[in-house]
A and B are shown apart, each in its own frame.
Chain A
Amino acid sequence: MERSFAKEVQSLKLGEGETFEGEGILAVTKAALQAGVSYVGGYQGSPVSHLVDVLSEAKEIMDEYGVHLEICANEAGAAAMLGASINYPIRGLVTWKSVVGTNVASDALSNLGSVGVVGGAVAVIGEDYGEGASIIQERSHAFAMKSSIWLMDPRPNLTTMVDTVEKAFELSEASNAPVMVMLRILACHVQGRFTARDNKMPKISRRNKLQTPDHNLMRIALPPNTYAQEKNKFEQRMPAAKRFIVEQGLNETFDGDMEDVGIITQGGLYNTVLRALDRVGLADLYGTSRVPIHVLNVTYPLVDEQLAEFCAGKKHVLVVEEGNPEYIEEHINSALRKADIQAVVHGKNVLPMAGQYTAEVVQTGVAKWVELVAPEGADTDRAGAVPEEMFTINGKAVAHLGNPVPPRPPTFCTGCPERPVFSAIKLMERELGPTHISCDIGCHTFSALAPFNLGNTVLGYGLGLASSTGIAPSFGKRVISVMGDGGFWHNGMTTGVASSIFNKDDSVLIVMKNGYTSATGWQFLPSSPNKGNFEDSKMSIERALRTLGVKWQRKVRTYNVSKMVKTLKEAMTTAQDGLKVIIAESECMLAKQRRVKAERAERLKAGKRDVRPRFGIDDDVCTGDHSCIRLSGCPSLTIKPSTDMLRTDPKAHVNQGCVGCGLCGEVSHAAILCPSFYKAEIVSNPSKLELWLSGIRQKVITAWLTPEAVRLNGVHEGEAAEPADAQKAA
Chain B
Amino acid sequence: MAARKQSTAKGEVPVKILIAAMGGEGGGVLTSWIVEAARSQDLPVQATSIPGVAQRTGATTYYIEIVPTPYSKLKDKTPVLDLYPAPGDIDLMIATELLETGRVIEKGFVNPDRTTLIASTHRVYSLAEKMDMGDGRYEGEKVLEAAKHIAKRSILFDMDRAAQDAGSIINSVILGAMAGTGILPITPEVFEQGIKDAGKAVKSNLAGFAAGRAYAEGKVVEARPKTKRAAAKSKAPKLEGAAKALRERIERDYKKALQPIVMEAAGRCLDFQDEKYAALYLDRLDTVRETKGADGGIVQETARHLGLRMAYEDVIRVAQFKTRASRFERVRGEVGATPDQLVRVTEFLKPGPEEFAQVLPRFIGGPVSRWADRNPDKARKLHFGMHVRTDTIGGFLRLRMMAGARRFRRMGYRYGEEQTAIERWLDLIRRAAARDKKLAREVIECARLIKGYGDTHKRGTTNFARITEQLIEPAIEGGPVTAADIAKARAAALADPEGNALDTAFAEIAGVPAGEGAQAAE
Q: List residues of chain A with CB under 8 Å of any chain B CB.
A: 21, 46, 131-134, 156-157, 184-187, 189-193, 270-272, 274-275, 278-279, 281-288, 290, 358-360, 363, 385, 389-390, 392-394, 396-398, 400-413, 430-431, 443, 450-451, 562, 590, 614, 616, 618-621, 623-627, 629-631, 633, 635, 637-639, 645-650, 654, 656, 665, 668-669, 671-675, 677-684, 686, 690-691, 694, 696-697, 700-702, 704-715, 717, 719-722, 725-726, 729-730
Contacts of B267 in A (CB 8 A): 709-713
Contact residues in A for B344 (Cβ distance below 8 Å) = 680-681, 683
Tell me, yes or no, whether B488 is within 8 Å of chain A by CB: no
A401-B142, A639-B129, A714-B232 are known; give 19 further A-B pairs, CB within 8 A: A132-B51, A132-B54, A134-B52, A279-B6, A283-B7, A390-B88, A394-B108, A402-B142, A629-B130, A630-B497, A665-B387, A675-B349, A680-B335, A680-B337, A706-B320, A712-B267, A717-B326, A722-B229, A730-B297
A-B contacts, 14 listed (Cβ < 8 Å): A132-B53, A185-B50, A190-B83, A191-B45, A191-B46, A363-B86, A403-B142, A450-B127, A621-B321, A672-B350, A673-B453, A711-B264, A714-B236, A720-B260
Structural contact, A673 and B456, CB atoms closer than 8 A: yes
- Check A400 against B146 for contact (C-beta < 8 Å): yes
A46 neighbours in B (Cβ, 8 Å): 51-53, 55
CB-defined contacts of A21 to chain B, threshold 8 Å: 39
- Beta-carbon contact of A360 and B452 below 8 Å: no
Binding stretch for chain A, among B73-81, B176-184, B189-197: B73-81
Give the distance in Å from the alpha carbon of A271 to the alpha carbon of B342 in the complex.
59
Query: Is B393 within 8 A of A701, CB to CB?
Result: yes
Chain B residues 469 to 497 lying within 8 A of chain A, measured CB to CB, are: 497
Within 8 Å by CB of B127, from A394, A403, A411, A669, lies A411
Contacts of B99 in A (CB 8 A): 405-406, 408
Partner of A288, one of B8, B14, B318: B8
B308 contacts chain A at the CB level, 8 A cutoff: yes
Chain B residues within 8 Å of chain A by Cβ, number: 169
Among A133, A287, A409, A710, point to the contact of B270 (Cβ < 8 A).
A710
User: Which residues from 88 to 128 on chain B have a C-beta closer than 8 Å to any C-beta of chain A?
Assistant: 88-89, 99-100, 102-103, 105-108, 110-112, 124-128
CB contact under 8 A between A650 and B82, given known A410-B58, A704-B397: no
Q: B89 near A627 (CB under 8 angstroms)?
A: no
User: Is B56 interfacial (CB 8 A cutoff)?
Assistant: yes
- Across the interface, which residues of B come within 8 angstroms of A623, CB to CB? 313, 451-453
Cβ 8 A contact of A408, one of B22, B318, B341, B454: B22
CB contacts (< 8 Å) of A614 on chain B: these are 335
User: CA A629 – CA B89 in complex, angstroms?
Assistant: 39
A267 to chain B, nearest CB (A): 12
A-B contact count (CB 8 A): 461
Bound CA–CA A637/B467 (angstroms) = 31
B435 near A: Cβ within 8 Å? no
> Beta-carbon contacts of B225-247 to A below 8 Å, as 1s and 0s?
00111011001111100010011
Pick the contact of B385 from A282, A562, A705 — CB < 8 Å?
A: A562
Asked if residues B342 and A694 are in contact (CB atoms below 8 Å), the reply is yes
B103 CB contacts on chain A under 8 angstroms:
405, 408
Q: Is B167 an interface residue (CB 8 A)?
A: no
Instruction: Choose among A271, A275, A284, A400 the residue that contacts B150 (Cβ–Cβ < 8 A).
Output: A400
Q: Which residues of A contact B23 (CB under 8 A)?
A: 410
* B8–A712 CB distance below 8 A: no
Contacting residues, chain B, for A191 (C-beta < 8 A): 31-32, 35, 45-48
User: Which residues does chain A contribute within 8 Å of B223, judged by CB atoms?
Assistant: none
| Contact of B348 (CB < 8 Å), options: A132, A405, A675 | A675
Q: Which residues of B contact A618 (CB under 8 A)?
A: 321-322, 327, 330
Chain B residues with CB below 8 A from A690, complex form = 342
Smallest CB separation, A358 vs chain B (Å): 5
Q: Which residues of A contact B172 (CB under 8 A)?
A: none
Contact partners of A398 in chain B: CB under 8 A = 106
CB of B369, distance to nearest CB on chain A (Å): 15
Instruction: Say whether B59 faces chain A, with CB atoms less than 8 Å apart.
Output: yes
The reply to whether A639 and B260 contact each other, CB–CB distance below 8 Å, is no
Question: Contact at A639–B456, with CB atoms within 8 Å?
Answer: no
B266 lies within 8 A of chain A by Cβ: yes
User: Contact between A721 and B393 (Cβ–Cβ < 8 Å)?
Assistant: no
From B50, B108, B270, B304, A131 is in contact (CB under 8 Å) with B50
Contact of A646 among B146, B247, B264, B454 (CB under 8 A): B264
Given contacts A46-B51, A409-B58, A710-B270, contact A274 B80 (CB under 8 A): yes
Q: Is B170 part of the binding interface, using a Cβ–Cβ cutoff of 8 Å?
A: no
Q: In the assembled complex, how far is the CB of residue A685 from the closest CB belonging to chain B, in whole angstroms?
A: 8
Asked whether, in the complex, the Cβ of B51 is within 8 Å of the Cβ of A402, the reply is: no
The complex places the Cα of A271 from the Cα of B451 at a distance, in Å, of 57
Given contacts A134-B52, A185-B52, A721-B229, contact A283 B8 (CB under 8 A): yes
Nearest chain B residue, comparing its CB with the CB of A133: B52
